[in-house]
Chain A
């Protein structure tokens, strides 16, 4: 085959390939640069968003485990209280004054514990939100990387 023949063969090249070469070359080159930059940015976001997401999700899991164990402990304590309630009934009439006094303390303790629980619930919700936002961000970055490549 001669070089002229090869040159002529190129005349039957796929139209799409030819059309692609019609695009401004600097734009293709710039796209390649943007591709690298976008990938780098996405990887940076993955690392930066990934760390807190994994930390917080791990932390919140620990918290959930702790709260579950404390609930179990409370249930155990309550059952013990119920078994000793017969004896408590006998002592009740003797300790009426004490009970009135203690009920005030108990109600204030209850209020305090409730407010603590509410604030911890809020912080748990906030952390959960951060974890979700971070996870979505990670997913988006992965999608962006897959699309540009």
Chain B
């Protein structure tokens, strides 16, 4: 008897479904990357309901974005949307005061790299800054780069990163601190008045 295999379609197939405006694309996306996106959202928000809503919003946003977009890495595309939505929601909830959770800690850590002043930056300057950060990360050591991304993109706590890396938490904190210091120096050298 032929067993109905629960094989998920490839990213290309899912993208084709989005382009064909087939709603099955959302179902497959949720099945394939739902739990991943939930983890991304939950690392920021720490609230189950909010995280689930962010994941649902991710599919809506993807439906609107594809087409015209055709991302080369669908997983990262969804992760970025979920992260953006989660940060918006976090900002909305924590506009008055920071509550001392992991995201607040991450934000506190990153104040080391910036001035904390409000300024209106043009889109060109923003893109240049993104380029500079990309260059900084690509020239950093692999371990430093991965730890930096795990911490400041995926908002994982240092204990979790230390466990995954087989390092001591103090060691991870030291690596992060060193990378932040180097990032600040690098951006200042590049002419950013942060």
Contact = CB atoms under 8 A, between A and B. Distances in A.
Contact of B126 (A4, A9, A25, A29): A9
- Of A4, A7, A14, A23, chain B has the most CB atoms within 10 Å of the CB of A7
Contacts of A28: 142-143, 146
B122 interface: no
Contacts of B77: 15
A46 B94 CA distance: 61
Contact of A11 (B83, B134, B137, B143): B83
Contacts of B72: 15
A56 to B, nearest CB: 41
A86 interface: no
Contacts of B167: 29
A15 B126 CA distance: 17
Contacts, number: 109
B87 A7 contact: yes
Interface in A1-30: 1-26, 28-29
B150 interface: yes
Contact of B134 (A6, A7, A14, A26): A14
A29 B141 CA distance: 12
A5 B79 CA distance: 18
Q: How large is the interface on A (under 10, 10 to 19, 20 to 34, 35 or more residues)?
A: 20 to 34
B92 to A, nearest CB: 12
Contact of A7 (B75, B110, B130, B145): B110
Interface stretch (B11-19, B23-31, B48-56, B111-119): B111-119
A21 B154 contact: yes
B133 A7 contact: no
B68 interface: no
B164 A21 contact: no
Nearest to A1: B114
Contact of B114 (A2, A17, A21, A22): A2
Given A6-B110, A7-B87, A1 B115 contact: yes
A30 to B, nearest CB: 9
8 contacts: A3-B116, A10-B152, A10-B153, A15-B77, A26-B164, A26-B166, A28-B146, A29-B167
Interface of A: 1-26, 28-29, 32
